[in-house]
Structure 1
Amino acid sequence: MKTVAFAVLALIAGVTNAGELYNNGPVVDATGVSVIGPDASTYGFGAQSGAGTFVADDFNVTAGKKWNVSSLNFLGYQTGANGFSFTSATWAIVSGDDINSGTVVASGTTGVTNGGLAGYRVTDSTLTNKQRAIYTVNADIADVTLASGHYWLAWGLAGTAASGPWQPPTSDAREGNAAQSSGGDPFETLEESGSGLSVELPFAVNGTISAVPEPETYAMLLGGLGLIGLARRRARRG
């Protein structure tokens, strides 16, 4: 009976694991900077929620898994800001292959907290410049459950400094399908104006991940619980 109990406990323990579910970074390299590439010219992309400018990037929830999302991490800067200057994030999680025709699963405007200084946005000739300090912006949200599938995260930030907020790309300069929308217009693929290349944007999704057991697993779990209950009743009678 102990063997059955341990097996049931193992099944239950394997259902949920807390932590970071997805990270689309990195935002800085090993030296703590995000360097504008030699053919690039954009320090940061507009992500000012107050001006109706939003950015977006996509992620996948693996088949056979279910995510319970409890917080989101954004990365941004306000040029010349004296420390962490962000006040809120306006965000939406959209289900579907096309962000413009997908289904909004959850959205909101959420107060944010300082997740720490991530590094600085610089050029290769100004590696020690600290005008553009990139911070991790934490937004704790009401729990959202996501089934397996393809999703987009769209966001804009608000802050107290005069410049921005600005969104840096990932520091590995890989191409991708990040998008931007301004003034209520549809999202369009985001491109670096100097190089003409598409970009990826850093963000993270946090919460718990649950496996979706096969029917046989459910049967084993229920059967094991039944055996444990029967054993306890017999023990009380004995």
Structure 2
Amino acid sequence: MKKIAIAVLALVSGIANAGELYNNGPVVESNGLSIIAPDASTYGFGNQTNSGNFVADDFNVTAGKSWNVSSLSFYGYQTGASGFSFTSATWSIVSGSDINTGTVVASGTSGVTNGGLAGYRVTDLTLNNTQRRIYKIDTDIADITLASGHYWLTWGLTGTAASGPWQPPTSDAREGNAQQSQVGAPFIQIEESGSGLSVELPFAVNGTVSAVPEPETYAMLLAGLGLVGLARRRARRG
């Protein structure tokens, strides 16, 4: 009967696994640098909440699973800041293929904590420049469950330094569909001013992923629980 109990626990533990659900990085390369790509000219994109500037990128919750999201991680810098200078994040999660017409399923303004220095935003000619320190910016949110589907994450940041906050693209300089809203205008796809290429933005979604068990799994779980309960009743009678 002990084996049955262990099997039941294994089924239950297989339904939920805590950790990082999605990461849209990389933020920096192995040398700790985010180097502006050839022909590019933009260090970072404005996502200053106080100016009504926000950025966004998308992610998918795969079919057959649901996510219980409990925190978000962003990456940004304030030029010239000598340490972590961020104070809050204003964010939203939007369901749908179009960020401007999708459904906001969660939003808020949350305090942030220092997730650590990720590296530096530099050019290939200024590899030792430390003016643009990229930090991981963690924020806890009220738990929200996301069913399988397509979502957008939007975010803006506030900080105490004079410049920014600024949002660096992913360090692999891959093209994508990252968006920006300036001064409250609709979101449009970001286009790097120098190269004319689209970009992706680093962020992470954290929490618990739950698989939707097959009917056979539910049957095994119920049967196992029934056997465990029967064994306990017999033990009491004995």
Name the TM-score, length of structure 1 as normaliser. Answer: 0.98
Measure how far apart 1:216 and its partner are. 2.0
**Amino-acid identity (%):** 80
Match in the other structure for 1:96: 96
1:109-142: CA deviation from partner (whole Å, max 9, x where unpaired): 0000111000000000000000110000010111
Spell out the pairing of 1:1-20 with structure 2 (5 A cutoff).
Answer: 1-20=1-20
Match in the other structure for 2:220: 220
Match in the other structure for 2:186: 186
Match in the other structure for 2:128: 128
1:37-58: CA deviation from partner (whole Å, max 9, x where unpaired): 1200000000001100000000
Name the TM-score, length of structure 2 as normaliser. Answer: 0.98
Letter paired with 1:7: A
SS at match of 2:232: helix
SS at match of 1:176: coil
> Structure 1: which 5+ runs fail to align?
none
Match in the other structure for 1:75: 75
SS at match of 2:147: strand
SS at match of 1:31: coil
Measure how far apart 1:204 and its partner are. 0.5
Alpha-carbon distance in structure 2 between the residues aligned to 1:159 and 1:96? 30
SS at match of 1:204: strand
**Alignment length, in residue pairs?**
238
SS at match of 2:64: strand
> Structure 2: which 5+ runs fail to align?
none
| RMSD of Structure 2 on Structure 1 (CA) | 0.8
Match in the other structure for 1:170: 170
Moved more, 169-178 or 30-39: 30-39
Alpha-carbon distance in structure 2 between the residues aligned to 1:111 and 1:224? 44
Alpha-carbon distance in structure 2 between the residues aligned to 1:5 and 1:121? 52
Match in the other structure for 1:27: 27
1:179-227: CA deviation from partner (whole Å, max 9, x where unpaired): 0001221110001000000000000011111111112211211121011
Alpha-carbon distance in structure 1 between the residues aligned to 2:6 and 2:79? 56
Letter paired with 2:48: Q
Alpha-carbon distance in structure 2 between the residues aligned to 1:158 and 1:90? 8
Runs of 4+ in 1 over 6 A off after TM superposition: none
Alpha-carbon distance in structure 2 between the residues aligned to 1:119 and 1:47? 19
Alpha-carbon distance in structure 1 between the residues aligned to 2:218 and 2:96? 29
